[in-house]
């Protein structure tokens, strides 16, 4: 029987790191949605709303820090103020994850109970990123309409491309994976 103060086994430690990776992934998905929306808004407002203009803005916005990205979005007055406030709170969560999470939980990582507490915290944060990203996606879709994109069609086409890439990866790596798993 496990005790909360027991030292965690390797599987539990891996699970903590997997939750951390998943949480950071969704933080980046959220941030990319903000980049997409800002890029669509600035492309629509430009003199030349062309693909090259979009690509140029995208590169510029991708280089912004999260805080500067939020400041740029505020200037457009496109996102509701409450959504921007929640985005700022999630920025603080993202910053904590990126810079201090494991340092702040150094002692928690040494016990089973601490590892489970870390997992619960990471899952709460992941859910917050996902929930706000859903709202950003709705606004992102509206921003893309301004440059002539149909978001539903874009997602459909992107889904097809992703399915094709996954199929190609499976074909390419399935024999390699079989060889690796036989050796292990």
The predicted-structure confidence for 79-109, as pLDDT tens digits, reads as follows 999 999 999 999 999 999 999 999 999 998 9
Token pair in block for residue 60 = 């510029």
Closest of 73, 71, 66, 55 to residue 139, by C-alpha: 73
pTM metric for this prediction: 0.79
Which has the higher per-residue pLDDT, 146 or 135?
A: 135
The pLDDT mean for the chain works out to 88
CA distance 102 to 97: 8
Give the rounded distance of the alpha carbon of 141 from its chain centre: 17
């Amino acid at each position: 029987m496990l005790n909360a103060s027991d030292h965690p086994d390797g599987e539990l430690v891996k699970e903590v790191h997997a939750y951390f990776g998943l949480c950071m992934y969704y933080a980046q998905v959220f941030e990319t949605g903000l980049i997409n929306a800002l890029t669509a808004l600035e492309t629509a407002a430009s003199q030349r709303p062309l693909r090259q203009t979009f690509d140029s803005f995208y590169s510029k916005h991708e280089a912004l820090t999260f805080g500067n990205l939020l400041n740029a979005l505020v200037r457009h007055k496109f996102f509701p103020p409450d959504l921007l406030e929640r985005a700022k709170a999630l920025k603080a969560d993202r910053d904590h994850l990126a810079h201090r999470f494991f340092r702040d939980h150094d002692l928690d990582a040494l016990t089973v109970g601490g590892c489970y507490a870390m997992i619960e915290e990471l899952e709460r944060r992941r859910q917050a990123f996902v929930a706000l990203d859903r709202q950003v996606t709705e606004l992102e879709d509206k921003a893309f309409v301004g440059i002539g994109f149909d978001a539903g069609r874009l997602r459909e086409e992107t889904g097809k491309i992703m399915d094709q890439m996954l199929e190609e990866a499976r074909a390419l790596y399935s024999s390699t994976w079989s060889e690796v798993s036989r050796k292990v």
